[in-house]
Amino acid sequence: EELSRISEVAISAHPNAGLPNELGEYDLSPSDMAEHIAEWAESGLLNIVGGCCGTT
């Protein structure tokens, strides 16, 4: 929260989908990911949201 409040540049987050399961797939769905980041986005803590491993 403090970083977002004092930053003069955009703040971004690029979370991954966790660890792959035994088949090498990621179990986190897009809606699950949205639930995890919704609070950050709705509170204005982020300007950019991306994704890393397992989110594409």
Domain assignment present for 56: no
Query: Has residue 55 been placed in a domain?
Result: no
User: Using the 8-state DSSP alphabet, how is residue 13 labeled?
Assistant: E
Taking CA atoms, 54 is separated from 12, 38, 44, 46, 50, in Å, by 18, 18, 25, 21, 12
**Residue type present at position 25:** E
45 within some domain? yes
Give the pLDDT confidence score for residue 22 in this predicted structure: 94
User: Which residues 6+ apart lie within 8 Å of 56 measured at CB?
Assistant: none
- pLDDT reading at 56 higher than 80: no
**Is residue 54 in some structural domain?**
no
- C-alpha span between 1 and 46 (Å, rounded): 10
Reported as a single tens digit per residue, the pLDDT across 3-22 is: 878 888 888 888 888 888 99
The domain of 24 spans 2-49
Residue 31 belongs to some domain of the structure: yes
Mean pLDDT over the full length of the chain: 85
| Whole-number Å distance between alpha carbons of 49 and 44 | 12
Domain count for the chain, please give it.
Answer: 1
